[in-house]
Amino acid sequence: MLLSLPAAADETVVWEESFDKNGQLSQLGWTAERQFEKDNFVVEDGRLQATCEFNPYKGSLYSRRIPFVKQGYIAWEAKSNGAGYNHLSLQVKFYDVLTSYTGLANGSWCRHYSWGKTDDWKTVGDVPRKGANWVKYKVAFDVDAKTMEYYIDDMENPVRIDTDVMLAPEKDGKSTLKIGNYGLANGSILNEVDNIRLVSITGQRSDAKIENTAIVFRGIAFGSYQLDRILEELKVSGSTNYDLETYGAALSPTNQFRLSKKPHPRPSSLPRYIIMADMPLGEVVPEYVQKVILHSVDRGATLLVLGGLFTLNKGEFQGALLGKAMPVEIGSPWTMKRLDAGEKIDGASAGDGRVRFLHDLKLKKDARILAKAGDHVFMAARNHGKGRILVCLGMPCGEYSNDEVPFWEWDKWPEFVAAMMNEE
């Protein structure tokens, strides 16, 4: 399954607003769709200064026509005095996507889609705690691919990516940009906006190439696996980590996980190695990220999935794109085997490289065994496109006797893993 993940060649600014003329916003080409007498939207000193007062859902709202482009991004800069900013105040809407802020100085950036019967509010990301400094925002979109990416400041990876997005022009075929006051924040809030740009992305496209780099998804038990030493053995020129984080609180014992950052859906280069250490899928590694991973493997990368209590069986691999590509059949969450004594993995000396807990999974017909622990499969591989997918069924847990060295603590473990990943 080769996926099209192209890098676009050309960017063209199709519309911009730099607020270089002073005056009331309604006198500068913007239409006042709604005006609240206590608000004041005026351009001074080369930027929009929007004083927003409390008036729930009835604050001032201004709009102007902008082109509709199918692939591109819209970017702007904003800041706030922050005083009393305890709820939604500034809103910036383009096409049918509304974004708003619950405190520019130390709050959250939100987005809202509303298509017919769909009504979807989500938090995009945390606004940097910069006080009265300017913060950059960008929303990249691809109408045909139905994706929307959100960026804060100059970060390489988006803070949020939405898929299956139905971005479309308005019914009359035209499109608008709107700036206004949501009206839910107490007090008088001075929001400032500047440098709005709508950019179209077009031109010749080409597939990203494999480079000698690594991507590491660091899950719950990643600290056990000597990942830094494995990367040294692989001799990569660089690596990027995506860490599993916990968030929120639950009344029931439900795992609430998310990635520290989101991989780009159209990377400019592809890694030679991908390691997922005790990493669950589900909402943590959504389908678009799985597609990027599989695309890299199809092009020649090697993927290694390291076992643990929060991956494979219990990691929502069953039925997922990555789960279907594994060398093993993903079973129920309880398919785990406990060995009475530590079994030595192939290549380990006496006492070293022992395993007591294994994912008890069946190999697929086209998979092959790379290493065993006694009579049990320890590591298996399967070809996928031009690359390979490896899975380590050992789990870094359990008690070991004094004369047993757990496989993940074995001094030859990084060398062993690198050899498995580089085996042709």
Contact (Cβ atoms closer than 8 angstroms) between residue 74 and residue 94: yes
Q: Which residue has the tokens 């390291």?
A: 306
Residue of 154, 12, 155, 4 whose CA lies nearest to 73:
12
**Considering Cα of 360, then 362, then 364, then 367, what sign does the dihedral take?**
positive
Q: What is the pTM for the complete model shown?
A: 0.70
Rounded distance between C-alpha atoms, residue 136 and residue 113, angstroms = 21
Q: Which domains does the chain carry?
A: 6-202 (2.60.120.200), 208-422 (3.40.50.880)
Positions of E strands within 160-312 = 160-163, 175-181, 189-202, 206-207, 209-218, 238-246, 257-259, 269-277, 302-306
Is 384 within 8 Å of 297 (Cβ atoms)?
yes
Cβ–Cβ < 8 Å for 274, 215: yes
Using only the alpha carbons of the chain, give its radius of gyration. 26
Q: What is the pLDDT along the chain (424 residues), one digit of tens a residue?
A: 333 344 545 889 999 999 999 999 999 999 999 999 999 999 999 999 999 999 999 999 999 999 999 889 999 999 887 666 678 889 999 988 899 987 665 678 888 876 544 457 778 887 776 556 888 999 999 888 788 889 988 777 788 888 778 887 777 667 999 999 999 988 888 999 999 999 998 754 456 789 999 999 999 999 999 999 999 999 999 999 999 987 654 444 456 788 888 787 778 789 999 999 999 998 889 888 898 899 999 999 999 999 999 999 889 999 999 999 999 999 877 788 999 888 999 988 888 999 999 999 999 999 999 999 999 999 999 999 999 999 999 999 988 988 899 999 999 999 999 999 998 6
Which pLDDT score is estimated for 359? 94
Q: What is the dihedral of CA 139, 142, 143, 149, to 10 degrees?
A: -40
Q: In sequence order, which residues have a C-beta less than 8 Å from that of residue 417 and are 6 or more positions away?
A: 230, 233, 304, 392
What is residue 255's predicted lDDT score, i.e. its pLDDT? 63
> What are the structure tokens assigned to 254, written together?
């439900």
Measured over the CA atoms of residue 412, residue 416, residue 418 and residue 423, the dihedral's sign is: positive
- How far is it, in rounded angstroms, from Cα 168 to Cα 56? 28
pLDDT of residue 146: 80
